Amino acid sequence: MKMSVLYFSKSGCTKEMAETIVKGMESINGVEAKVMSISEIDDEFVKESMCVVIGTPTYYTNLAAEVKMWLDTQSGKYALAGKLGGAFATANFVHGGAHNAIQNILTHLTFMGMLIYSGGNACGKPPIHIGPVAVSAQRDEYKPVFEIYGQRMAKKATELFNK
């Protein structure tokens, strides 16, 4: 089953976290996952993906303008309705507003008809309620959470769509 992790990144932190999510996804049997910048998307791969996760750096407690523009103008061509969706963010500070950025992405994905999932507390520790957040300066400390998030998304997608 194909899964896509799409991101925008200026410093490389968001890209690194996207790669970590893909690592977690690919640890689940039968999953082929690909990480792609929103400026260099493999259209066919995303269209065939049953799980699409979108990541953004956080600016002024919000998603990057580039991600918002992609969501508004490009996301519609990927037939996202009915697929599993998720979001993640990076920030320079713990209270930098990353959860707001994630929520904005999830709101858009819901409008597109995606099924939203994170695992929440139902999957045990660590609870990941709307999507994982990494603080740039300590990104290595957050990688295990991002890998677990990738695993959870992949497990749920295979549970939903491998019937």
pLDDT digits (tens, 9 = 90+) for 142-161: 999 999 999 999 999 999 99
* Residue 44 CB coordination number (10 Å): 9
Q: Round to whole Å and give the CA distance between 101 and 150.
A: 19
How high is the pLDDT of residue 13?
96
> Phi, psi (5° rounding) for residue 111?
-60, -35
CA angle at 107 for the pair 53 and 50, rounded to the nearest 5°: 30
Residue 84, pLDDT above cutoff 90: yes
Structural domain count, the chain: 1
Nearest to 14 by CA among 60, 72, 64: 64
Query: Hunting for tokens 């491998």 — which residue is that?
Result: 162
Give the model confidence (pLDDT) of 11-42 as tens digits.
Answer: 999 999 999 999 999 999 999 999 999 999 99
pTM: 0.96
- Report the CATH number at residue 118: 3.40.50.360
| Predicted confidence band of residue 163 (pLDDT cuts 50, 70, 90) | low
